[in-house]
Structure 1
Amino acid sequence: MKIVALLGDYWHPAENMTPGLEAAVSRLAKTMDIDLQYITHEEVSSVLDAKPDLFIIGKMGTLNPKDEKVITWLRDDLDKKVVRFVEEGGSVLAWHSGMASYDNNSNYIQMLRGYFDFHPPGLQDVTYMLKEDEKTGENTFPLVDEQYFVVCDSENTEVDLWSTGVDGDSLAAWKHPFGKGKVCCFTPAHTKEANLDENVLKLLVEKIEWTLSK
């Protein structure tokens, strides 16, 4: 299985995400042949031409969010190409910032059926829930994280992770088929330590497995 990963942006260094992804891939490699390649945003178009099995996007849409003139990497033609890639049988995993700072009307965000809205300042104590409204017990785990609050078309996707924290409750992960391919959105986690948390790692493995299953 060929996985390509676009990771890292102004607020989210790639080195915070690669250890978690590589740990997940190491576990998956015990049962399947995995080829993981890291790419830059300039390489996305040519890489998609080679039809990888999974495209992981852990990069926000804006390249220079602090500048007066903000540049986005997902130009119109590439926006359409990413969606076409999934329609034709590829899979996309939008991971943490991979659903942030994109045009909400883009084909990409419409395909995800959800996007990042805001998070409370800094890192907070967040409880992630495997069952909706079950805020304590074996189906929950704590994490120091950016709690993403999202806008999601929950009627047209399968929500399978929720969060609760200082500012309230939100959805934290969802998935759905799209055309001949699959789409998965996973909001944890911001730091290297959080991405290596056993609970997060287990869920990341499950998300990747789902996107690769036929």
Structure 2
Amino acid sequence: MVKIVALLGDYWHPEAEARVGLEAAIDRLANKEEVNLAFITYEEVGRALEANPDLFINGKMDEINPRDEQVITWLTDELDKQLVNYVEAGGSVIAWHAGMASYQKDSSYIKMLRGSFDYHPPGLQEVTYMLKKDEKSGPNTFVLSDEQYFVDCDQANTEVDLWSTGVDGDSIAGWKHSYGEGKVCCFTPAHTQAGMLNENISTLLAERINWALAK
């Protein structure tokens, strides 16, 4: 049995929508009957990692209450170290959309991701996603109404495998690399349930799950 734990949903991203999107991607896996998918809260992350799952999917931003005067974050120093130790020992992490947003740039988690969310244009925009850099039309592209994430990414130390272009210009939309004995993958789309259920997005997320699980 393959064990996947997922932390989804925050102030800006409804957990129910992300669950539907992730379940759709899991349903595309050839071994989907062997997958045990568990949804957890941020309070349960430490205990979940102690059980050494095959994959931890983080689709939650760090800030719990971003509109309040005193903002609370969930990634403690202890969890920050535990996440990195989990991957170094052979675990895999996928940072999905908000899972790379509002975290401290000097955290061990962001350093392990080798990239993080910077900003996105207001609202939903027409975003073209590209499987090949600078190939903005043709069979290796598709268009989605989405938040176009602009990111910081250490391109020299990871494998970029998805790009985007939109109203504000071009950005990187996905990358992956090994880390210690484990694997790390970052995937920026999508913001809405419709976007997550888009066949292209669902297929790409499933491919990244397969990559993260492959030994």
**Once the 2 structures are TM-superposed, how far is the Cα of residue 17 of structure 1 from its aligned partner?**
1.0
Contact 1:16 1:190 in 2 (8 A): no
Q: Aligned partners of 2:30 and 2:162: how far apart in 1?
A: 25
Could you give the per-residue CA deviations for residues 138-195 of structure 1, whole angstroms, max 9, x where no partner exists? Answer: 0000000000000000010000000000000000000000000000000000000000
Q: Aligned partners of 2:147 and 2:17: how far apart in 1?
A: 13
Contact 1:125 1:145 in 2 (8 A): yes
> Which residue of structure 1 lines up, in the alignment, with residue 94 of structure 2?
93
Could you give the per-residue CA deviations for residues 77-112 of structure 1, whole angstroms, max 9, x where no partner exists? Answer: 100000000000000000000000000000000000
> Which residue of structure 2 lines up, in the alignment, with residue 19 of structure 1?
20
TM-score normalised according to structure 1 size: 0.98
Q: Aligned partners of 1:124 and 1:16: how far apart in 2?
A: 19
TM-score normalised according to structure 2 size: 0.98
Give unmatched runs, 5+ long, in structure 2: none
What residue identity is the alignment partner of 2:57? I
Q: What is the correspondence of 1:1-214 to structure 2 with a 5 Å cutoff?
A: 1-28=2-29, 30=31, 33-214=34-215
CA root-mean-square deviation: 0.9
Contact 1:4 1:39 in 2 (8 A): yes
* Count, aligned residues: 214
SS of the aligned residue for 2:70 comes to coil
Bigger mean CA deviation after superposition, 186-195 or 10-19: 10-19
Q: Aligned partners of 1:155 and 1:23: how far apart in 2?
A: 32
Q: Aligned partners of 2:139 and 2:25: how far apart in 1?
A: 22
Q: Aligned partners of 1:42 and 1:140: how far apart in 2?
A: 39
What residue identity is the alignment partner of 1:148? Y
